[in-house]
Structure 1
């Protein structure tokens, strides 16, 4: 009986000693699992553009009740800041911020008035854009939107009083970004604003009041840099 007990104790001891060795052997033989690749971070939905913009207005307009009256406007170059937010890779909205000035000149039968006045223009514009994403680093887009144009710091010159009214207008846009890397790119952009504000003026005699419409409808042609956060 004692001999049987000793044999059982010896077998148990050998089993306990072999278990860690066997477990270690199983670990060594288990197939290695490669770590999962890190997912690429999604691009930020926010983007900024800074452009230099040439503003080219149409030379059209009229004074009500004066046949053959016409107007012309000066051209200008101004900086522009644009803030974009991407809802998807293709759909974005862009807020366009810039300010410039325009000289207003008489033409046609009112050419004798010469320079009628000058006004500063602030036309914040919001566009809804579609971005094409199947051309690699070249990323063209189109947009349509609305602007509300404010006229401020108005100065009468050939008349004694000038008041150009703030107004809403539509906007069309086409352009492209060429991305140098995931953040930086260059941009070219063309916008057409449909902008025809009404105005009131008092002629140089200080008595005669006139009104009309300034058909500015400017082209905004710009180039600059893009930064995607």
Structure 2
């Protein structure tokens, strides 16, 4: 089968080369175009299996042909190139990093919500609900905004985990003293206070690891988002 996608990309390149656009916009479009051309250069549409993949392929062809016919809007060109790059991972069944990133985003967000009230307050923790919800929803829909929300969640998670790890270090140095302070401050039994001073630092280490893996996986998966 003719490599129609690569043909469309080549035609887009010719249109861009003959267009008068700003260097900044040209650089952005060229970057996406080169990535798409490299991916589709030896692409074989006959290898596409499954109804969903076929629908994505037909949609990509339709958008590309419409763009060549009457597409002078640079935003539409950029959107198509992003769509083409993202669709490639559907065709090659290479969505593993994104799926892992979504699970890590969920885990990181849950740990952040559980550990943040102690240091940043309950109100700030509630404020986090909106970007977390928007980010998770966007990632599931493969929207680039999900990656942006992950970039917001990461430094907050890093800060909260660092604060808890510092507390954990203090517990290691002066376990009896911290335990006594916690019993007096909370009015809880020593057994319950032990849980309060040991479990959160352990979870904070998990939060730090999860947040770092999340941002790494989503960085690798950023071209899978539109």
| Superposition TM-score, scaled by structure 2 size | 0.18
Q: Over alpha carbons, which structure has the higher Rg?
A: 1
Q: Which has the higher helix share?
A: 2
TM-score (norm 1): 0.18
**1 or 2 for the larger relative contact order (CA 8 Å, sep ≥6)?**
2
Q: Which has the higher strand share?
A: 1
